[in-house]
């Protein structure tokens, strides 16, 4: 009862804050660009500021909240369509400045993690494929170099349909010790060789002639191929197509980044499917569900929409624990974990719907529920690459 009163008071305070902000807000001009000619537009709602650290490993909760806001905005545009500045007959009104209802402000970003950049780009990619609309960037010239360079290297601008026009800024801004691989997409392991070769090429940025040992290369390819196959086999169950509106869009998105100071290689694969907890068969749920976890979540005060999901992911990472329940299955996630051991240092992090599970050799498995779910599953390997002898 007391909790209910507290929640109501907080909601009331929040509503007052929002109303004050709305009263204080004054529309302002921005520059929009969708790969063609830059245009002026009047922004009639406040912009959503990205956090300065968008990173799934170092600022997980805030990053997930931000991703949720961006996703909601994209879905709203898709449903409501972007009719601003157009007449009902579809023709643009001449001499009238187009209006936009808010946008995402990328100017304050000082760190942009590879995993978060892949999730955001994949969301925009899905939006464009489904809607056919090329989303505009707003005030691109104000984006921080960190945000611009990461997204440029990832192929964000091509992905959303901005064919040309950003090369010069990239040439002027690119520097530093981090390089990101152009994102790839696919539906199964057909693209494994291409992805493997691109990652090997990226790893040379670290500085050595052959920074990836042969055994690490094979283990990485095996783990990545397994992840790609898992997307084809499990991520988008046939009965999910109608519910999620994904249609034939049953894709994975892969990228990687190399940090030559820390000598680390990060490889990320993401899908926007049903998630591991959802695709585990019912009989596995009972085994994985931890009452202790649920109690821990309640007593810690963390509001988690899917408190048991971290346990499901941990369960799926165990050998022989399968999404099909059939014999000989359930080796894929353990093989993904083995890569970190073969490498000799690093981590494997899996975020799936409402849980995160992080494995490091010789350290207790880290698991926890997420305050905001991630749509689908993200798998990220961080590999520490020893200096060549």
Partner 1 sequence: MEKEVLISISDFSTYPSGRDERDGPFNGTKFRETVLKPAFETARASGAKVVVSLADVMSFGSSFLEEAFGGLVRQGAVTKREMRDRLVVDPGSDINLRYRDAIMRYIDRA
Closest CB 382 distance from partner 1, rounded Å? 20
How big is the site for partner 1, counted in residues (CB under 8 A)? 26
Closest CB 361 distance from partner 1, rounded Å? 16
Cα 346 to Cα 384: distance, rounded to the nearest angstrom: 5
Q: Does residue number 226 form part of the binding site for partner 1 (CB under 8 A)?
A: yes
Which residue from 49, 59, 111, 335 is in contact with partner 1, where contact means CB under 8 A? 335
77 vs 200, which CB is nearer to partner 1? Answer: 200
Closest CB 335 distance from partner 1, rounded Å? 5
The secondary structure of residue 92, as a DSSP letter, is B
3 vs 214, which CB is nearer to partner 1? Answer: 214
178 - beta bridge partners? 259
Closest CB 196 distance from partner 1, rounded Å? 7
Restricting to residues 74-133, which ones interact with partner 1 according to CB under 8 A? Answer: none
The secondary structure of residue 54, as a DSSP letter, is E
Which residue from 31, 59, 107, 229 is in contact with partner 1, where contact means CB under 8 A? 229
Restricting to residues 233-262, which ones interact with partner 1 according to CB under 8 A? Answer: 233
173 vs 217, which CB is nearer to partner 1? Answer: 217
Q: Does residue number 331 form part of the binding site for partner 1 (CB under 8 A)?
A: yes
Distances in Å between the alpha carbon of 25 and those of 44, 45, 70, 290, 333? 9, 8, 21, 47, 49
Which residue from 45, 110, 193, 300 is in contact with partner 1, where contact means CB under 8 A? 193
Closest CB 207 distance from partner 1, rounded Å? 23
Q: Does residue number 196 form part of the binding site for partner 1 (CB under 8 A)?
A: yes
Residue 54: name the closest of 35, 68, 43 by CA.
Answer: 68
154 vs 224, which CB is nearer to partner 1? Answer: 224
Burial readout 293-303 (b: 16 or more C-beta within 10 A, e: otherwise): beeebeeeeee
Is there a contact between 33 and 135 (Cβ–Cβ < 8 Å)? no
Q: Does residue number 361 form part of the binding site for partner 1 (CB under 8 A)?
A: no
Side-chain-side CA neighbours of residue 280 (13 Å):
28
172 vs 210, which CB is nearer to partner 1? Answer: 210
Phi, then psi, of 193 in degrees rounded to 5:
-60, -45
Structure tokens at 153: 């290297």
Cα 294 to Cα 272: distance, rounded to the nearest angstrom: 26
H or E stretch covering 329? none
For 232-281, give the DSSP string: IIIIS-TTHHHHHT-TT---EEEEEEEETTTTEEEEEEEE-SS-HHHHS-
Q: Does residue number 192 form part of the binding site for partner 1 (CB under 8 A)?
A: yes
Q: Does residue number 190 form part of the binding site for partner 1 (CB under 8 A)?
A: yes
Please list, in sequence order, all residues whose beta carbon lies within 8 angstroms of the beta carbon of residue 39, skipping any fewer than 6 positions away: 31, 32, 33, 98
Q: Does residue number 184 form part of the binding site for partner 1 (CB under 8 A)?
A: no
108 vs 218, which CB is nearer to partner 1? Answer: 218
Q: Which residues bind partner 1 (CB under 8 A)?
A: 188-190, 192-193, 196, 214-215, 217-218, 221-222, 224-226, 228-229, 232-233, 327-329, 331-332, 334-335
């Amino acid at each position: 009862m007391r909790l209910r009163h507290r929640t109501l008071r907080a909601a009331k305070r929040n509503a007052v804050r929002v109303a004050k902000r709305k009263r204080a807000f004054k529309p302002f001009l921005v520059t929009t660009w969708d790969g063609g000619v830059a245009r002026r537009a009047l922004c009639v709602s406040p912009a959503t500021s990205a956090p300065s650290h968008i990173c799934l490993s170092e600022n997980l909760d805030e990053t997930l909240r931000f991703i949720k806001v961006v996703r909601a905005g994209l879905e709203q545009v898709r449903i409501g369509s972007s009719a601003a500045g157009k007449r009902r007959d579809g023709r643009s009104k001449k001499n009238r400045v187009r209006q936009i209802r808010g946008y995402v402000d990328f100017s304050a970003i000082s760190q942009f993690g590879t995993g978060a950049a892949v999730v955001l780009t994949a969301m925009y990619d899905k939006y464009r494929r489904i809607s056919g609309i090329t989303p505009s960037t707003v005030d691109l010239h104000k984006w921080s170099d960190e945000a611009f360079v990461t997204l440029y290297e990832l192929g964000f601008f091509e992905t959303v349909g901005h064919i040309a026009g950003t090369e010069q800024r990239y040439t002027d801004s690119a520097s530093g010790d981090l390089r990101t691989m152009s994102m790839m997409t696919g539906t199964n392991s057909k693209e494994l060789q291409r992805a493997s070769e691109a990652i090997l090429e990226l790893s040379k940025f670290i500085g050595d002639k052959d920074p990836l040992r042969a055994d690490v290369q094979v283990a990485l390819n095996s783990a990545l191929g397994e992840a790609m196959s898992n997307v084809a086999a499990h991520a988008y169950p046939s009965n999910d197509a109608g519910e999620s509106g994904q249609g034939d869009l049953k894709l994975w998105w892969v990228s990687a980044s190399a940090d030559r100071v820390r000598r680390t290689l990060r490889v990320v694969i993401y899908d926007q499917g049903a998630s591991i907890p959802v695709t585990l068969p019912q009989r596995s749920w009972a085994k994985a569900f931890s009452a202790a976890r649920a109690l821990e979540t309640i007593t810690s005060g963390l509001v988690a929409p899917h408190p048991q999901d971290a346990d499901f992911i941990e369960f799926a990472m165990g050998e022989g624990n399968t999404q099909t329940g059939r014999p000989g299955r359930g080796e894929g996630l353990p093989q993904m974990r083995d890569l970190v051991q073969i490498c000799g240092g690093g981590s494997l992090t899996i975020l799936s719907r409402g849980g995160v599970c992080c494995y490091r050799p010789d350290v207790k498995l880290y698991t926890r529920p997420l305050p905001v779910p991630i749509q689908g599953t993200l798998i990220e390997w961080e590999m520490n690459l020893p200096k060549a002898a």
